Amino acid sequence: TMRDNGRLKIAIQKSGRLADMSLKLLEKCGISLAKSRDQLLCMADNFPLDVFLVRDDDIPAFLATNVCQLGILGQNALLEQQANENGKYAELKEVMALGYGKCRLSIAVPNDFDYKDITSLSGKTIATSYRGLLAKYLAEKNVSADIVTMQGAVEVAPRTHLADVICDLVSTGNTLKSNGLRETDIVMQSQAVVIKNEIKDVEINSICEKLIARLRAVLRAENSRYIMLNSPIDSLDAIKAVLPGSQSPTVMPLQGRDDMVAVHAVCEEGVFWNTMEALKAKGANSILVVPIEKMLD
């Protein structure tokens, strides 16, 4: 059957906010997929991986039923389903955060709503697609309110008098602003994550570990820079101290100079203009910062 053809299966969003980045991430892991976006199933031809393109809401179920072993979705979506489904998805574990799809689940009130603190919501009606997470948050704050579940267009609920306030995903806040709403409480922060079900098959598990190692390597490389500069020998220690998140830089002689050396380092934290300016202030010159395509320990 399709279930045990010796290949790892991953479920990702078919279309929507996470779709492109998720596919691109797999490509960055060196996985080449036949570009048939209309199909449910895409098979990699150079790695034992099958990619299921599905609605994000269905991803936990694909894992829980063992159709797939891995998935990529928003933390918000996973935690919401775990809050609602009575332990059905308890086995699903977050393996790693991916740094994209960043947003927050927030409560927002109409601009003319008299909001002091969370207790201002008691007895009010709140529209949301995230009943589970909202109910948990309100319970923690000891506030009792009515929750109306909506699938979409939550931000219009107050204007149509379906609800007094809303609880919805926010990234820039522009949607809230253009609907006359203002954010009052952050229920949770979210981003895209890789989730995993328990894998019993030893071979599939080792394919999974290989893919996860590649994913980690891709994220590490993306956040890292290779930095090269020339440093006065006397300021070497001061310059090393400024290099962000680098282990032990390579120090090499410069032909014909006995006062200067070349320093090369992998920096695993952001290298910004102010970092470069700080290096220059310590006497460094010819500073080059280049991206890293791949890295593996």
Which residue, among 59, 56, 69, 44, has the nearest Cα to 19 in the 3D structure?
Answer: 56
Q: What is the largest CA-CA distance in the chain?
A: 79
Taking the complex as a whole, how short is the minimal distance between the CB of residue 14 and ligand ATP, in angstroms? 6
158 touches which of ligand ATP, Mg ion, none (CB within 5 to 8 A by kind)? none
Minimum CB distance to ligand ATP smaller for 13 or for 231: 13
Taking the complex as a whole, how short is the minimal distance between the CB of residue 115 and ligand ATP, in angstroms? 22
Minimum CB distance to Mg ion smaller for 16 or for 30: 16
C-alpha–C-alpha distance, residues 142 and 122, integer Å: 9
The footprint of Mg ion on this chain (CB under 5 A) covers a number of residues equal to: 2
User: Considering only residues 278-297, where is the footprint of ligand ATP by CB under 6 A?
Assistant: none
Stretch that binds ligand ATP, among 3-11, 40-48, 52-60, 227-235 (CB under 6 A): 52-60
Residue type (1 letter), 135: A
| Structure tokens belonging to residue 181 | 């709403």
Stretch that binds Mg ion, among 54-62, 157-165, 241-249, 285-293 (CB under 5 A): 54-62
- Work out the number of other CB atoms within 10 angstroms of the CB of residue 119: 11
| Structure tokens belonging to residue 201 | 């098959």
Taking the complex as a whole, how short is the minimal distance between the CB of residue 221 and ligand ATP, in angstroms? 24
Angle between helices 19-28 and 202-223 (to 10 degrees): 100
Q: E-strand spans in 102-240?
A: 103-110, 125-128, 146-149, 165-170, 181-190, 192-196, 225-232
- Where on the phi/psi map is residue 54: left (φ > 0), alpha (ψ -120 to 50), or beta? beta
Taking the complex as a whole, how short is the minimal distance between the CB of residue 52 and ligand ATP, in angstroms? 12
**Strands ordered across the beta sheet of 125-128:** 146-149, 125-128, 165-170, 103-110, 181-190
User: Considering only residues 204-243, where is the footprint of ligand ATP by CB under 6 A?
Assistant: none
Residue of the chain from 32, 111, 149, 171 that contacts ligand ATP (CB under 6 A): 171
Contacting residues for 242 by C-beta, under 8 A, at least 6 apart: 275, 278, 279, 282
DSSP 154: G
Residue of the chain from 8, 10, 11, 18 that contacts ligand ATP (CB under 6 A): 18
Contact call for residue 56 and ligand ATP (CB under 6 A) = yes
- Work out the number of other CB atoms within 10 angstroms of the CB of residue 34: 12
Minimum CB distance to ligand ATP smaller for 76 or for 197: 76
Binding mask of the shown chain, residues 69 to 98, with x at each position contacting ligand ATP by CB under 6 A: -----x-xx---------------------
Stretch that binds ligand ATP, among 50-58, 157-165, 247-255, 286-294 (CB under 6 A): 50-58
Taking the complex as a whole, how short is the minimal distance between the CB of residue 184 and ligand ATP, in angstroms? 17
Q: Which residues make up the interface to ligand ATP (CB under 6 A)?
A: 13, 16-18, 55-57, 74, 76-77, 101, 103, 169, 171, 190
Q: Which residues make up the interface to Mg ion (CB under 5 A)?
A: 56-57
